[in-house]
Amino acid sequence: MLDTASIPTSPKTRTPHTSTGAIRTLGRNPATAPIVLHPGDSISARRRVLYIILLGALTALGPFTIDLYLPAFPTLEADFDTTAAAIQLTLTGTMIGFALGQLIVGPLSDKVGRRIPLLTVTAIHVVASTAAALAPTLELLSIARVLQGAGAAAGGVVAAAVIRDLFGGKRLVVMLSRMALVSGVAPVLAPLVGSALLLVMPWRGIFVVLAVYGAIMLVAAIVFIPETLPRARRHEAGSTTVWQRYRSVFSDRVFIGVLIIGGMTFSGLFSYLSASSFLFQQSYGFDAQQYGVLFAVNSVGVVIGVQTASRLAARFGPQWVMAFSTASLVITASAIIVTDQLALGIWGVMIPLFLFMTACGFTFPCAQVLALDRHGKAAGTAQSILGATNFGVAGIVSPLVGWLAHDTGITATTMASVMAGCAMVGVLSLWLIVRPRTVARLAP
């Protein structure tokens, strides 16, 4: 298996290091040879596209595992003869499992390499998905969902770490924006796919589909994804132990601030995801397919946000893009509350909701770039902490919607109140902890 962390060269090409740590690829004319600042800079465009597709699909495994069964919530409530809050707890368990799995996989991938943790944990996902499809009780389904979440953890962590192994600076912004496009769109597309699946199969079939998806990703990782973390980099000074890697990351004020922003943005998003099935199907009379179309429409907002943010972040800096996006999250979530209280109907909720999702799309890639660009030696650890915080905090916060609505039922106001509160915490973190004016510009 080739190690793509080394620069490919022809017999007439050699790759000496410059005094700055860059690599100059020498060919027939050394004077005009390009300087390769990062290993991935010399990878062909076709190979980069392959990595984006495969790593993007691995990243999407987590969101699809979490969200694919959302349209089946009312059916699960009826089949298990339980409450909406109990069904929401299966979603919470999945996100907590996903968070804990990342905390294990990330540091492990920095220590032993990327491939072994990726293959092992993805195999666990396949087994857990099969168990969820066969679960006879809600309790056993909940346990299987926790294991599913832990098993899906490797994809997002290792994918981001591989990208950071290969790229840096502004190209890292571009590559991570493609990854953020997948991870941002997947949560909103998954219910659309889930609602389509419910037309042709019972809810248990959704977990069979997830098992097949995981198996395909396992085979693809074995065949196409090489080891990108050389043995020498696993033992560099200051990053040889898990404690050293955690200390280097948590001693960074900017990382801490970005961690809070990412966690609050995901919490706002998942507050919507966990409540929307009940809100739109029970309060507004949507069927499962109409509910899926709603998510497809909102996915357009995420796509717009992610792709626009990648261009603006490379030009102005990700911290300034987040200054715009976090403020937009507060404004749009508050607008949902106002329109709902004024009884402006479904469109009064859907329009600001679309804008909220767009603002989420602006935030995701910028938070990831600021987190990973500063911690190349501990990319797996940094990404695991970022992902674990996102999903762990979201798993804790999102059930607040059900708790606030336990007497009156889920409304747009109760959903948006949690979204607005999360967004406000993100704004405070940006200006009080990250402090955009103190963040250095991205390297080329």
Cα distance between residue 415 and residue 194, in whole Å: 22
pTM of the model: 0.67
* Max avg pLDDT among 12-26, 57-71, 147-161, 326-340: 326-340
- Mean of pLDDT values over 364-388: 79
Token code pair at residue 197: 């699946």
- Mean of pLDDT values over 14-18: 41
The answer to which of 180-184, 237-241, 331-335 has the lowest mean pLDDT is 237-241
Measured CA to CA in angstroms, residue 277 lies from 188, 208, 438 at distances of: 12, 22, 42
Could you report the per-residue pLDDT of 69-125, keeping only the tens digit for each?
888 888 888 888 888 778 878 888 887 888 888 888 888 888 888 888 889 999 999
Tell me: pLDDT of 205 over 90: yes
Tell me: pLDDT of 162 over 60: yes
Which pLDDT belongs to residue 187?
67
Token code pair at residue 193: 């796919």
Q: Are 22 and 56 in contact (CB under 8 A)?
A: no
> Looking at per-residue confidence, does 261 or 182 come out higher?
261
> Looking at per-residue confidence, does 408 or 434 come out higher?
434
Could you report the per-residue pLDDT of 256-275, keeping only the tens digit for each?
999 999 999 989 988 887 78
The three-class DSSP label of residue 69 is coil
Which pLDDT belongs to residue 233?
67
Distance from the Cα of residue 308 to its chain's centroid = 18
Burial state string for 413-430 with b = 16 or more CB within 10 A and e = fewer than 16: bbbbbbbbbbbbbbbebb
Cα distance between residue 176 and residue 163, in whole Å: 7
Q: Binning pLDDT at 50, 70 and 90, where does residue 32 land? A: very low
Token code pair at residue 168: 């840096």
> Looking at per-residue confidence, does 38 or 108 come out higher?
108
- Mean of pLDDT values over 168-173: 71
- Mean of pLDDT values over 184-212: 85
- Mean of pLDDT values over 339-364: 92
Which pLDDT belongs to residue 3?
44
> Looking at per-residue confidence, does 225 or 204 come out higher?
204
3-state secondary structure 9-47: CCCCCECCECCCCCEECECCCHHHCCEECCHHHHCCHHH
* Max avg pLDDT among 266-270, 320-324, 392-396, 438-442: 320-324
Q: Binning pLDDT at 50, 70 and 90, where does residue 212 land? A: very high
Which pLDDT belongs to residue 6?
40
Percent of the chain scored above 70 by pLDDT? 83
Which pLDDT belongs to residue 196?
86
Could you report the per-residue pLDDT of 286-307, keeping only the tens digit for each?
887 787 788 778 878 888 888 8
Task: Write the DSSP symbol of residue 431.
Answer: I
Tell me: pLDDT of 22 over 50: no
- Mean of pLDDT values over 404-425: 85
